Amino acid sequence: MAYEKKWADNPNLNKTELKKLQKDGLKIFADIPRYAKEGFASIPQEEWDYFKWAGLYLQRPKEAGYFMMRVCVPSGILNNEQLETLAGISRDYGRGIFDITTRQAVQFHWLEIEQIPDIFNRLKKVGLSTAGACGDITRNIVGNPLAGIDPDELFDTTAIVREVYEFFQHNEDFSNLPRKYKMSISANTYNAANAEIHCVSFTPAKKVIDGKETIGFHVKVGGGLSATPHLAQTLDVFVPQDRVKDVAIAVTTIFRDYGYREKRHRARLKFLVADWGVDKFKEKLLELTGPLPSKGEDVQKGWNAGYFYGVHRQKQEGLNYIGFNVPVGRLSADEVFEIARIAKKYGNGEVRFCNSQNLIIPNVPDANVETVLQEKVFERITIQPKSFIGYSVSCTGTEYCNLAIVETKERMRRVAEYLDDHLQLDVPVRIHMVGCPNSCGQRQIADIGLQGIKMKTKDKGMIEAFEIYVGGTLESGGKFNEKLKGKVDAEQIGNVLVQLLTYFKETKLPGETFLNYLDRVGLETLQTELDRILTQVSTVA
């Protein structure tokens, strides 16, 4: 290897770290063709975890031998050939299921080991990869889905994201990190990439250098969700556009060499940043990069949460991008083929995925917009979704995920539709549902976060239930939502939310957002109302 594993002699390394010292995770790519020939039974159980480096997790139950696969899609941008290839994989091997993730990637299910080599070949032909989609490695780079066409971007980040992504692809110098490592790069002034919840984020900034205004980035480090969420902190550096890769390498090197490897639950970069502080982290960074200017002016104006519904003008005269809702991020292969056909016929073939689990068709000429909107596939996947289904996000849940303890994906869809049938509001309320504390559905930044738990009852035994969190945002640096006391039977969550949000409707001011309402009335007001609702639900039951 080209680097020294400074942690190798640490006597307190956890079991995963000891395994990684023996074999790099990326080596699994060389093993997969053999396993594909010999079948799932030939894979030793101790090798199962290595498949994460190839973007593969075993679905539940693991012993059944079906894999979930993630495909990296930097900034969520796909050309037509790539999209059709992904649709074909879903149709041919994934039982027609096509999921968009909260990190702009694509997720398949029901894959068998014998199919993986052909899938890899298909992906390679169109420049796609699963390397780094999972595992202790640099994950898919989240970016601005409107890069290059965005009136609200400081500059086009497409080439920068591609350069950084390609550097880390199959790079064994950076494939043995303490744990997962998440990066975002965006110049959208409305924080389209959710900068504060990433390990490292590059955000749009400008600074006068040698009498000339320069546009580039600020750097945030140490964000992350899961059971112990942290908001990323801004370093006192300004990064010119041509130095992004250098800084990304340096931050990743710090994580690799100094990140914690004793306990898995403490192995994220956020814990190192919290312990060191930003001043020490900056000092170590500059040792690796050389001098960088101090911070300039942050040009971010707010937070759009990755939502772009409707028809919007691009930078390019006469062209438009159209933002569509994909209910809880799930498409069928047939729908994806249709979307690819429409994008090719009426745009330039591109489709772009958002971290809100939705999609955009860009580069549609003025004359084609109405024709696009008349396509039948856009009856379900619409530019004007009802309020609750349009702002609902969900993780995979127990349907496929071994970590989840409750079902989420279809439940979130049903709950949102129930809310839309029973309630209308003058503002959107973002609801995120997650099946475990790992929070792939990003519960902490939602107006209302629903976290799955198990609850013991007198007559039913252990049942699926939810805890309710309120008040999450990434506006003005961010604030995680707070838990309301009480556990809600999963079968009652729709009913409870209707009552809670009806109370919100009846006591809010015109146009007042859920976040502003909570700031005005306080957490205890909602707690008192939830207590009343749960007492009523319990009495009825």
* pLDDT tens figures, 168-220: 999 999 999 999 999 999 999 999 999 999 999 999 999 999 999 999 999 99
In this prediction, residue 168 carries a pLDDT of 98
Q: Which of 222, 224, 435, 494 is catalytic?
A: 435
In this prediction, residue 2 carries a pLDDT of 74
Q: Which of 52, 179, 220, 268 is catalytic?
A: 179
> Phi and psi (nearest 5°) for 234?
-85, 130
**Residue 49 sits in which domain range?**
15-298
Chain segment 479-506, per-residue pLDDT in tens: 999 999 999 999 999 999 999 999 999 9
**Is 122 a known active-site residue?**
no
pLDDT band at 458 (very low <50, low <70, confident <90, very high): confident
Q: What is the mean pLDDT of residues 41-68?
A: 96
Instruction: Pull the structure tokens for residue 66.
Output: 């079906």
Same domain, 129 and 94: yes
Inter-residue contact 469 to 484 (CB < 8 Å): yes
Residue 4 included in any domain? no
Residue 5 included in any domain? no
CATH code for position 215: 3.30.413.10
**Is 179 a known active-site residue?**
yes
**Is 6 a known active-site residue?**
no
Q: Report the C-alpha gap between 467 and 450 in whole angstroms.
A: 6
Chain segment 272-283, per-residue pLDDT in tens: 999 999 999 999
**Is 70 a known active-site residue?**
yes
Same domain, 403 and 416: yes
- Decide if pLDDT at 540 tops 70: no
Say what the pTM is. 0.96
Same domain, 286 and 430: no
Q: What is the mean pLDDT of residues 461-471?
A: 96
Q: Of the residues 384, 416, 438, which one is the last residue of a structural domain?
A: 384
Same domain, 179 and 58: yes
- Decide if pLDDT at 161 tops 60: yes
Q: Of the residues 341, 363, 384, which one is the last residue of a structural domain?
A: 384
Q: Which of 20, 52, 70, 182 is catalytic?
A: 70
Same domain, 227 and 110: yes
Same domain, 294 and 316: no
**Is 216 a known active-site residue?**
no
Same domain, 356 and 472: no
In the chain, the amino acid numbered 140 is: N
- Decide if pLDDT at 539 tops 90: no
Q: Which of 139, 180, 268, 352 is catalytic?
A: 180
- The residue among 332, 334, 335, 314 whose CA lies nearest residue 323 is 314
Inter-residue contact 332 to 96 (CB < 8 Å): yes
Chain segment 399-448, per-residue pLDDT in tens: 999 889 999 999 999 999 999 999 999 999 999 999 999 999 999 999 99
Same domain, 293 and 424: no
CATH code for position 314: 3.30.70.3340
Q: Of the residues 298, 326, 345, which one is the last residue of a structural domain?
A: 298
Q: What is the mean pLDDT of residues 233-243?
A: 98
Residue 535 included in any domain? yes
**Is 313 a known active-site residue?**
no
CB burial of 233-244 (b: ≥16 within 10 Å; e: otherwise) equals: bbbebbbbbebb
Q: Report the C-alpha gap between 525 and 529 in whole angstroms.
A: 6
Residue 303 included in any domain? no
- Decide if pLDDT at 541 tops 70: no
Instruction: Please state the three-class secondary structure of 363-407 as a single string.
Output: EEEHHHHHHHHCCHHHHCCCCCCCHHHHCEEECCHHHCCCCCCCC
Number of H helices, E strands in the chain: 15, 22
Q: Which of 296, 347, 441, 449 is catalytic?
A: 441
Number of domains in the chain: 3
